[in-house]
Amino acid sequence: MTTRPVLALLATLVALPAAAQSPTGTFVSQSGDTRVRFADCGGQICGTIVAVRGQTTDEKNENSSLRNRALVGIRMITMRPAGANAWQGSLYNFQDGKTYSGRMTMPSADSMSLSGCVLGGLVCRSQTWTRVN
């Protein structure tokens, strides 16, 4: 028995691109305090807050007229495709009331990495979120 066919098969399998992971569904933040439902919204992925522990209103929003609105129901994340298992767009941080440019990747089906950046992407902070359903 020759090993060439086996090696050729293995080389082919290694060369195949990884299947794209879908970010649709509900994920919990790294702290466990926020749950966000991700869904398609016109060719983009949008994340809407569905549950939050602690702070319940958008009290730190830079726009004072929005500070009394409930956090549940706010679109917190908007991303557009930027390659295999990668998206880029914006993330709203209700803890400081600011919106950041960001990037999202799906290292696995149940794990999401979110990075929010300032200074044109020079300084970024990342979190890993976990799928809950």
- DSSP string over the chain: --SHHHHHHHHHHHHSPPPPPP--EEEE-TTSSEEEEEEE-SSSEEEEEEEESS--B-TT-SSGGGTTSBSTT-EEEEEEE-STTEEEEEEEETTTTEEEEEEEEEEETTEEEEEEEEGGGTEEEEEEEEE--
Neighbours of 75 (CB within 10 A): 13
Query: Is residue 10 included in any domain, yes or no?
Result: no
Whether residue 17 has pLDDT greater than 50: no
CB 45 within 8 A of CB 87: yes
CA–CA distance, 48 with 108 (Å, rounded to integer): 21
CB 60 within 8 A of CB 94: yes
How confident is the model over 13-19, as a mean pLDDT? 42
Range of the domain at 84: 19-131
Query: Is residue 51 included in any domain, yes or no?
Result: yes
Whether residue 12 has pLDDT greater than 90: no
Whether residue 71 has pLDDT greater than 60: yes
The residues pairing with 57 across neighbouring beta strands, listed in sequence order, are 70
Query: Domain containing 115 — which CATH number?
Result: 2.40.128.520
Query: Is residue 112 included in any domain, yes or no?
Result: yes
Query: Is residue 47 included in any domain, yes or no?
Result: yes
CA–CA distance, 112 with 95 (Å, rounded to integer): 20
Query: Is residue 99 included in any domain, yes or no?
Result: yes
Q: Quickly state the pLDDT bin for 84 (edges 50, 70, 90).
A: confident
| Higher per-residue confidence, 1 vs 105 | 105
Question: Is the pTM for the entire model greater than 0.85?
Answer: no
Query: Is residue 4 included in any domain, yes or no?
Result: no
Query: Is residue 127 included in any domain, yes or no?
Result: yes
Number of domains in the chain: 1
Query: Is residue 109 included in any domain, yes or no?
Result: yes
